[in-house]
Chain A
Amino acid sequence: MLRSKRSEYFTAAVLMAPFIVIYGVLFVYPTIKMVEQSLTNAPLIGAGKWVGFDNYLRLASDRLFSVAIWNTLYFVVLSVIPSTLLALAVALGVNRLKGWLQSVVLAAFFLPYILPVSVVFRIWSWIFDKDFGVAQYLIAPLNGGHSLSIFRTIPLFMPAVAFVTVWWLLGFNVLLFIAGLRNISSEIYEAAGLDGASRLTQFRRITWPLIWPVTVLVFTIQLILQLKIFDQVYLFAQGGRVDATMVMVQYIYKQAFQMNKGGLADAAAVVLFALIVVVSVLQFQLLRARGAR
């Protein structure tokens, strides 16, 4: 029995309407407003006067904003690549385990992921604490016997926060990789084994190409997530040299909520939005092209 096209369109429209309405009201409309308001001198609340591209010019000349961009990109490099590679390595290891042992190990890696960021912050700020932290037993010998305040030593700040972030979010990436690895049929490995392929060859010729789509996915998710980094950097820098470790979302937060400059914050948000779109599209295309080779 053939159904008329019209009724199919109708069903589709009805099913999609709730999503489209919510998406429109909560995402598209605010985004348009954001772009519009970035061209005004609006405070955090209420309308402002049209100022053209003044806010963008101000951003371009603001040293703090360029610091924020560089810190964000630096953090992305420090967190995205290690967390992807490490997750793959862990997944390969976990995948070899069998039965309940595998579940326990997997759960252990996943556990940090369910913690809220405030708890993660508390745990690691005490572990690294200059006066009472357990990590100082490892750090002090490397620092000539003196304990060192990790989060107040500016060159160490981003790497340390990236380390904590990788620890925190690794479990989720491992889970994605495990799902990917389980999708690879064991028959392929058996065939390769019969042909005398070594484990390394099996990884290079079978696992790596077949897991590539998942790798791209993990990489992209991480990239977008870490470009929006805020919580950890904000918490660990509190009361310290916040300007030296400023990231983009933090800059937006500062302008909007602390300085009451809505228009300027909007402009910074538009720049971040554009940056995320450009970087993630580029990255996705680049990696996909490589995978299709």
Chain B
Amino acid sequence: MIRKIFYAILASAALTASAARAEETIVWWDFLSGGDGVRMKAMLDQFNKEHAGKVKIDATTLEWGVPFYTKVQTSTAIGQGPDVMTYHESRMPLGISSGVLSVLKPDELAAAGIKASDFGPANWKAAQGPDGKQYGVPLDIHSIILYYNKDMLKKAGLLGEDGKPKGLDGAANFDAALAKLTTKDHSGLSVPNDGATGWRIFYTLLNQQDGQFLKDGKFLPGDNLAKATTALAEMQKWIKSGWAPANTEYPASIALFTSGKAAMHINGVWEVPTMVDLAKKGKLFDWGAIQIPTFYAHPATWADSHSFAIPDRKGNPVPPAKRKLVLDTIHWFNVHSIEWAGGGHIPAYLPVQESAAFKALKPNSDYASLAKTAVFDPVSVLAGVASPVYDAAGNYIIPAMMGDMAPADAAKKMRDDLDSQAK
């Protein structure tokens, strides 16, 4: 009897071992732990099911921001780390300069069916190094949008026939709308008070005036300083006039909107699932989301992009056969990125972005137009997610917005601080 069991175990062990040999494993690291992480998990499950017996993705989700990028840097330095990872395009300059990312050669990309023409030009270019080589493949474009409460906008006469806000374009008009929307019971707007959000709004307003944050290695040179001041003054006005409450923490700012204490809310597209889920449970009013209105000369919105990259593992590079498999996998995720769009993101892959399925996806398709005029973070090792520029936003943009610093003073101090760090 015991002998029988022993043989059975042996046989099954041999079977699993041979199955494991036939099945290739891709080690995958990402930092997607929010509402979008749930969607990524579903996609990973779908991928593994479709490729059962051939390819298996072994995925690990790590802490977003500096911890993720530090772990990637330390592990690649000793030849460890994943076969593929998610990477913010805005973070690529620092990744490339510290030798973390491996170049994706044109013939490799072509073999996997990845084409530059399938992506927006700015989006594709943001994954390139100063050497013009490709270091990543974009998965999405994510940005900030304007969430709005249809009932409140309607009451204030700011809702068009199509259910979208009207008359918000132009700084003066936007201010007037905020004033109209602010009543005894609710404010016109709620905005999180963290540096990252501050940066995204500021960068949007700066680019709508054709301002350049970084030019030839100098921060806010020439008249860009005046444009930065204009942007900060506008943001300060919202708070000072009492149209938006000051210093609302990130979760509180969302709660103010969802509980009907603020008519509009500026935040990332990644909060779309929050609203969708609440609405599904019948706990949310009639809501919508649009691209940030045009305050100045022309539309422009800050954007970043989750992309895929292959780490440059020192002394233990990802073998060529595995690289091919990884690139095929990346392409699969782009082809299937309609699922990812459920997380609020705009698919980077144009065939999906322009598909009927995405056009039918609400509210995503209402704000997808922002992709055409999206502006990506300045290309610098000091910029990008969780960078000194983001810190500077906390140190100067937020205090200016909250009225603790004069806009001109904050702009000047931010410029001097970043210039000194660039040395």
Interface residues of A (CB under 8 A from B): 43-46, 125, 129-132, 149, 152, 238-244, 254, 257-260
Question: Known: A45-B74, A260-B98. Is A238-B252 also a contact (CB below 8 A)?
Answer: no
Question: Known: A242-B391, A244-B395. Is A258-B66 also a contact (CB below 8 A)?
Answer: yes
Question: Known: A152-B402, A240-B194. Is A257-B252 also a contact (CB below 8 A)?
Answer: no
Closest to A243 in B: B395
| A241 near B77: Cβ-Cβ < 8 Å | no
Interface residues of B (CB under 8 A from A): 66, 70, 73-74, 77, 94, 98, 193-197, 245-250, 252, 255-256, 381, 386-388, 391, 394-395, 398-399, 402, 417, 421
**Chain B residues whose C-beta falls within 8 Å of the C-beta of A243 in the assembled complex:** 391, 395, 417
CA distance A259 to B420 in the complex (A): 13
Question: Known: A44-B73, A46-B77, A152-B402. Is A258-B249 also a contact (CB below 8 A)?
Answer: no
Question: Known: A46-B77, A149-B193. Is A129-B249 also a contact (CB below 8 A)?
Answer: yes
Number of A-B contacts (CB under 8 A): 73
CA distance A259 to B250 in the complex (A): 26
23 sampled A-B residue pairs with Cβ under 8 A: A44-B73, A45-B74, A45-B98, A131-B248, A132-B252, A152-B193, A152-B398, A152-B402, A239-B195, A239-B250, A239-B398, A240-B193, A240-B195, A240-B394, A240-B398, A242-B391, A254-B391, A258-B387, A258-B391, A259-B388, A259-B421, A260-B94, A260-B381
| B394 near A241: Cβ-Cβ < 8 Å | yes
Other than the given A131-B255, A240-B398, 13 more pairs (CB < 8 A) read A44-B98, A45-B74, A130-B246, A130-B249, A131-B248, A131-B256, A238-B194, A239-B193, A239-B394, A239-B398, A240-B193, A241-B394, A260-B381
Closest to A258 in B: B66
**Chain A residues whose C-beta falls within 8 Å of the C-beta of B94 in the assembled complex:** 260
CA distance A132 to B258 in the complex (A): 14
**Chain B residues whose C-beta falls within 8 Å of the C-beta of A254 in the assembled complex:** 391
CA distance A238 to B255 in the complex (A): 20
CA distance A243 to B421 in the complex (A): 13
| A132 near B255: Cβ-Cβ < 8 Å | yes
CA distance A201 to B126 in the complex (A): 75
CB distance from B373 to the nearest CB of A (A): 27
CA distance A130 to B244 in the complex (A): 13
**Chain A residues whose C-beta falls within 8 Å of the C-beta of B417 in the assembled complex:** 243
CB distance from A45 to the nearest CB of B (A): 4
| B246 near A149: Cβ-Cβ < 8 Å | yes
**Chain B residues whose C-beta falls within 8 Å of the C-beta of A131 in the assembled complex:** 245, 248-249, 252, 255-256
Closest to A154 in B: B404
Question: Known: A242-B394, A257-B70, A260-B98. Is A130-B196 also a contact (CB below 8 A)?
Answer: no
Closest to A131 in B: B252
**Chain B residues whose C-beta falls within 8 Å of the C-beta of A132 in the assembled complex:** 252, 255
**Chain B residues whose C-beta falls within 8 Å of the C-beta of A238 in the assembled complex:** 194
| B194 near A257: Cβ-Cβ < 8 Å | no
CA distance A181 to B394 in the complex (A): 48
Closest to A46 in B: B77
**Chain A residues whose C-beta falls within 8 Å of the C-beta of B256 in the assembled complex:** 131
CA distance A236 to B90 in the complex (A): 25
**Chain A residues whose C-beta falls within 8 Å of the C-beta of B421 in the assembled complex:** 259
CA distance A257 to B73 in the complex (A): 10
CA distance A242 to B394 in the complex (A): 7
| A129 near B70: Cβ-Cβ < 8 Å | no
**Partner pick for B66 among A125, A241, A257, CB 8 A cutoff:** A257
**Chain A residues whose C-beta falls within 8 Å of the C-beta of B386 in the assembled complex:** 258
CA distance A132 to B195 in the complex (A): 21
**Chain B residues whose C-beta falls within 8 Å of the C-beta of A244 in the assembled complex:** 395
**Chain B residues whose C-beta falls within 8 Å of the C-beta of A258 in the assembled complex:** 66, 386-388, 391
**Chain A residues whose C-beta falls within 8 Å of the C-beta of B247 in the assembled complex:** 130, 149, 152
CB distance from B314 to the nearest CB of A (A): 9
CA distance A241 to B399 in the complex (A): 8
CB distance from B4 to the nearest CB of A (A): 46
CA distance A258 to B385 in the complex (A): 10
Closest to B396 in A: A241
The interface centre, meaning the residue of B194, B195, B247, B386 with most chain A CB atoms within 10 A of its CB, is B247
Closest to B192 in A: A239
CA distance A267 to B137 in the complex (A): 38
